[in-house]
Structure 1
Amino acid sequence: MRQVIIIGSGPAGFSAAIYAARANLKPLLIASTVEVGGELMNTTDVENFPGFPEGILGPDLMAKLQEQAEKFGTEVLYDDVTELHVDGPVKKVVLGSGAEHEASTIIYATGSAYRKLHIEGEERLSGYGVSWCATCDGFFFREKTIAVVGGGDSAMEEATFLTRFASKVYVIHRKDTLRASKIMQERAFANDKIEFIWNSEVVEVLGGESVKGVQLRSTVDGSLRELEIDGLFIAIGNDPRTHLVHEKLQLTDAGTIWVDGRSSRTSVPGIFAAGDVIDPTYRQAATAAGSGVVAALDAEHFLADLEDASVEEPAAVAAEVIVS
């Protein structure tokens, strides 16, 4: 039986693995067969992760995190978790291959998935003008013309933030009213760099090696037109990957896993959560990495308490025998 099993191979998962391995907990990290490395695998230049002043490619950053985790003794397994058993002192992880692994603790760091438009050119130009994170990529669009898709608070926040860099920001929304809160709407409407394109949906991202424009379809009459832009930011929400823990762990109103304050402790003892799966607000590689560190330390303390309890119990029994 393992001491720690980590589910997830993003910055949170590998940061947890580094700390757990250095604590000699010999962690097993289950990295999936499809989405190894998380969302950073779809990112080109990462310039806001501490320690890389010249920037680093997203896949290269994840490779370095994995190398560091394995250097200290993390075992990485490429398989998909299909079922979790979290009740009781022994936790069980069932994999797609049919294999089962048991552990005293589990760190759940599966991240979140950005909602996508599922249109032509979206995947192909991901990282080459198509982005889901203004904070991550806005810097690369200085004096460029870009568009944001969405009508909620996230879209208004992204659009407003992007005006720090872009010369023009279009907001494309399929209706003629926004879902965003009144204050976020007013902020966007008051910004001279933002122009709204109402009753329109993006049906194709145009460009060869980078984004050159989008094709728009009217939601009123179905007519098509093209809009020239240099970048497209998709802000229609994201979904934390919590499908494995529904009705097993307590969730928040935002759909993320509930944790106790600033800790990683979930509603089930021995189960810890880290990264975007507990974070509906920041969703940055650096914050996810820090969250993974917290989870590893919490798991280490939990295991130490278990060991102390197992030592004290025989001692108490022995004392009873002597007295009797």
Structure 2
Amino acid sequence: MKAWFLRLFANQPVDPVGPPLPAEPPAAPASSPPSAQTWHLRRPVLDGALLAWMVQCEPDLADTLGAREQGVLQALEARAGDPAANLLPRAAGVVPALLARLRSESSSLGELVEHVSRDQTLVAEVVAMANSAFYRRERPVMELGHSIQMLGVGGLRAAIARVVLKPMLDGRSGPLIRRAAPRLWKHTEFKTQLAAEIARSQGRDPFDAYLLALLHDMAWSVVLRELDAVPGWRMSGPFVAALGQWRDRLASLIAQQWRPLGPWVPAAAELAQQGLGAGSGPDVLNLCTADQLAWLLCDPNRVRARTLAEPLLAAALPPVRACFDELDAASAGPG
């Protein structure tokens, strides 16, 4: 797997197969440190590294698309083209009421506390979040009341969303998803916290950014289900690029299925339709920054990951670097 990562980052992004990406500008000279925009535009390469790590499969960048890989892409196209398809079946009954409650300005801290206290799973999640790297203090937080004071309304919203939505990334559908789900959720946890901090540092709504990052990673679960249904596929460079693009398109469709609609809908649609470029809106740029920083927190090669993260962190505000550093320190060790 280490050899794959080294080859991956040594190569330019492969040509995509599937929904087209916009043309990329020429790569920066090798002697110059890559800018944040340069790394943004290498998304197929970074998507490939993340996917290889999630499914624990070493790809061959020189391989081509075969019949099985074409079958997976056709299945994803059929799923995306079916207006009646419920891409996240378990979400249909819970997401509408959840989003309505969490995004309502009339939802007071007291009402959210009452909602949490009735569910022991939520209580455990709230206490765990208060003890996470993002909120952690010198002494562990043991009580619900103390946890709630520390998290506030924003933290409580995120904790409730995690408990209700995490099962949609559960790995009970097939062997591939069972293997990939824990790593996908690890990436999702990093990505959502970073996305919220990036938005907060810019004066934008952190919860909306949190939800956009959450649904973007949920789309990987749809991709993984299709991979599980077609055994024997090989992870070639073009296949990896195509899967990353379908992930973006599926995320846009999931966003449209959520009710009530929110700002994540136009952001997800922009990414799916136009890809990422110099003219991308702030929500899309922030999502992709969080996505890449989250992967670099997962990358087993910590030295290389820190080097690749530096241009993105240098372009961000200081609270984002602090969040990355705290998550990095908390997750130190084998992953």
Greater share of helix: 2
Q: Identify the structure with bigger relative contact order (alpha carbons < 8 Å, sequence gap 6+).
A: 2
Q: Which one has the largest radius of gyration? A: 1
Greater share of strand: 1
TM-score, normalised with respect to structure 1: 0.23
